[in-house]
Structures are given as C-alpha cells and as structure tokens.
Amino acid sequence: MQNFKGIRIVGTGHYAPDNVVTNDDLSKIVDTNDEWISSRTGIRRRHHVTTEKNQDLAVAAAKMALENAGIDKSELGVCICATVRADNLTPSMACMVQSILELPGNMPCFDINAACSGFMYGIEVARGLLMQSDKKYGLVIGSETLSKILDMTDRGTCILFGDGAGAAVIELSDNNYYSVLGSKGDDKVLQCPNEQGDRYVNMLGSDVFKFAVSTVPKTIFELLDKAGVAVDDIDLFVCHQANLRIIESVAKKCKQSLDKFYVNLDEYGNTSSASIPIALSELNQKGLLKPGMKIICVGFGGGLTWGGAYIEW
C-alpha cells in the first residue's frame, strides 16, 4: 500500500499518422468547404491512418512517454489504454503495448472505453490501482483510429474526427490532485453501433454541443471546489479538443481568457480519448509546462461521459 493519494505526470508522448487530410481534401468527397468547417469547428486538418493499426499509434505514444519520463520500466505497476475501437476484442491494446515494448509481466494491462473521456477515466483508474501496488508508476494511453468508423459520406461527422495517440506516465505523489468523473447513459445523442453496415459514428451535433458547453464548466467548478482553488489561479486548461466554439464558450463561462486554454484541434480534429494526452505532450515538448503549474483537464463524449482532473505539474 502506498502513502500518497495524488499523482503527478512525469512523462508524456504523442503520435499522429503522417497522412494529413485537409478541409479541402474533404470538400472533394462531401458537400462542404474549408470556410464552413473552420468557422464552425476551428478544425483545418486531421491525420488519418493508411496502413497503421490502432496499436501502432498507441505503441509510438507510449514509447515516447516512457523515454520522456526516463523511468526504469520495471517500476511500472499498471498499463491502461483508453480507446473506443481496439484492434482486437482480445488481446487488448494495453496487452499489445506491453508485449511490443517489453513492459513488466507482473502488472495489470487492460483497455477501457469511456469514449472521449477515456484518458481522464484511465488516469483515475491507474491511480486507484497504484495505491494498492508496490510500484509507483503507471502508463496511461489514449489511442484512436476513428477514421475507420467514419461514414465518409456524412458531412456532419466525417469532418470532425482524426486519428492519433497520446500517453502519460504518472507517479503517485503528495501533489494535490482531484478528479471528477461522471456519466449519463444515453444512446441517442452520440453513438457508434457495432453492427455490420451500421457501424459508424453518428450524433445529434447540436445536442452534443449543448451537453459539452454545460458539462465542461460544471466539471471545472466542481474541481475548483474540491481543490479549494480560485478559477483565476488556474494556469492552464486542457479541454477535450472537439470544437473551438465549445472551448470559447467554456472560457467565457469561466470568465477566463481563451489564451489559458490550449488548442490544437486545428491540426488534429477530434481524436477522442487521445486529444487530452496529445495536448499535454505537445505542451510538454514546447516547454510550456512549468513545475507548480495548476492545470485542469476536462474530457467529455459518448456515453454520455465526462471526466476531469486538477493536476499540479
């Protein structure tokens, strides 16, 4: 059993396939255009796999996170991969990452599906397992190949999503850390059936939008309450990258400058469970994360689910 209840992130990694699909590329497939997509969503490009499997993305992001953390792999106590579409029903993506990266055998490795909130769920599950473990590090990955479940004739959805993976190595620590997770079972607003011929993402776009702009600020205020911190004291907000207008609305509701909200959806689109860890990894790579920074991350998505964390860097 460990004494610490909080976590800190000690390493990050990300990966996106080389194949870039621009708004102009999509305008050749469906009745849309760059002006509509960029003004309604903020998205300009996204990356789609060609030959890669989902696990290839997960492995690349995990490898980078482990190198960035500089830890001894034998000190890992759990590996979790959040994804909505694993390559196999079994073995799990996490087990394949374990196999390919030769991670220790004496730890739990498994996938979770909480849609676009998956990475935030993964961090909290990993924290809980580490508290019962004698190992101090956990590897949490969000990895998606959503392009494989997009109806490329539906302009309402195919423009939004991209492929990618992000990963973080977490360590149990005495840092302040608080989490909020929730769900509201609903199969109308956002869904992707698993049936042949009907296996595409479909959603009621404006209902998802309304869900996001009410749930994300609510989650932020719950986290602030738990942490006993004022909203102005937060240095950085890392929200799920679904739509720039959602992030703008959240910033407004929190009475915060948009500059405090990291945005990279112009480059990746919505990468579901990968979006928050990709953002954290980019921020880390750019040297924008300083010790002691107070960060709030919030994801939301299918389920409907939401999940957020207050983290000190």
Active site residues: 116, 240, 270
- When binding is defined by CB under 6 A, the residue of 3, 50, 196, 206 that contacts ligand COA is 206
How many chain residues bind ligand COA (CB under 6 A)? 19
Nearer Cβ to ligand COA, position 172 or 242? 242
Instruction: Based on the shown chain and the rule CB under 6 A, indicate whether residue 83 belongs to the binding site for ligand COA.
Output: no
Q: How far is the CB of 151 from ligand COA (least distance, A)?
A: 12
Contact between residue 134 and residue 77 where contact means Cβ atoms under 8 Å apart:
yes
Sole window of 58-66, 98-106, 202-210, 221-229 interacting with ligand COA (rule: CB under 6 A): 202-210
Nearer Cβ to ligand COA, position 11 or 164? 164
Q: How far is the CB of 60 from ligand COA (least distance, A)?
A: 23
Reported for 201-205, long-range contacts at CB under 8 A and 24+ positions apart, including other chains, are 201/146, 201/149, 201/150, 201/151, 201/157, 201/161, 202/151, 202/154, 202/157, 203/156, 203/157, 205/156
| Displacement of CA 47 from its chain's centroid (Å) | 15
Instruction: Based on the shown chain and the rule CB under 6 A, indicate whether residue 189 belongs to the binding site for ligand COA.
Output: no
Rounded distance between C-alpha atoms, residue 211 and residue 96, angstroms: 34
Q: How far is the CB of 20 from ligand COA (least distance, A)?
A: 18
Rounded distance between C-alpha atoms, residue 89 and residue 260, angstroms: 39
Nearer Cβ to ligand COA, position 5 or 40? 40
Which residue in the shown chain puts its C-beta closest to ligand COA?
205
Contact between residue 19 and residue 70 where contact means Cβ atoms under 8 Å apart:
no
- When binding is defined by CB under 6 A, the residue of 80, 93, 167, 208 that contacts ligand COA is 208
Instruction: Based on the shown chain and the rule CB under 6 A, indicate whether residue 182 belongs to the binding site for ligand COA.
Output: no
User: Which phi-psi region, left, alpha or beta, contains residue 83 (left: φ > 0; alpha: ψ -120 to 50)?
Assistant: beta
Instruction: Based on the shown chain and the rule CB under 6 A, indicate whether residue 64 belongs to the binding site for ligand COA.
Output: no
Q: How many CB atoms lie within 10 A of CB 296?
A: 27
Sole window of 29-37, 76-84, 88-96, 215-223 interacting with ligand COA (rule: CB under 6 A): 29-37
- When binding is defined by CB under 6 A, the residue of 8, 12, 41, 47 that contacts ligand COA is 41
Nearer Cβ to ligand COA, position 15 or 300? 300
Instruction: Based on the shown chain and the rule CB under 6 A, indicate whether residue 36 belongs to the binding site for ligand COA.
Output: yes
- When binding is defined by CB under 6 A, the residue of 270, 271, 281, 284 that contacts ligand COA is 270
Q: How many CB atoms lie within 10 A of CB 246?
A: 23
Bond from prior residue into 104 cis (ω within 30 degrees of 0): no
- When binding is defined by CB under 6 A, the residue of 5, 40, 148, 260 that contacts ligand COA is 40
Instruction: Based on the shown chain and the rule CB under 6 A, indicate whether residue 241 belongs to the binding site for ligand COA.
Output: no
Q: How far is the CB of 18 from ligand COA (least distance, A)?
A: 24
DSSP state of 148: G
Rounded distance between C-alpha atoms, residue 172 and residue 134, angstroms: 11
Element at 63 (helix H, strand E): helix 54-69
Picking from 97, 85, 87, the residue whose alpha carbon sits closest to that of residue 169 is 97
Rounded distance between C-alpha atoms, residue 25 and residue 86, angstroms: 27
Residues that bind ligand COA (CB under 6 A): 32, 36-37, 40-41, 116, 155-156, 159-160, 203, 205-206, 208-209, 242-243, 270, 301
